Amino acid sequence: MKCAGVLYEDKEVVVDGDLITSRHPRDLYTFGRELVKKIHELL
């Protein structure tokens, strides 16, 4: 995928605008924290 020009970040959670992604299920706590932050921004 890197050869195709994909930007890859090896982090627990990456927030790009409204998109929130994580690497593994073990990153769920950090993912949830960022999700709650984003929801509070929208309210």
- pTM score of the predicted model: 0.75
Q: Are the C-beta atoms of residues 42 and 28 closer than 8 Å to each other?
A: no
Residue 13 to residue 23: CA distance in whole angstroms: 7
pLDDT attached to residue 41: 93
Residue 3 to residue 25: CA distance in whole angstroms: 26
pLDDT attached to residue 5: 83
pLDDT tens string 1-43: 778 888 888 899 999 998 999 999 999 999 999 999 999 999 9
pLDDT attached to residue 8: 82
Residue 5 to residue 29: CA distance in whole angstroms: 29
pLDDT attached to residue 2: 73
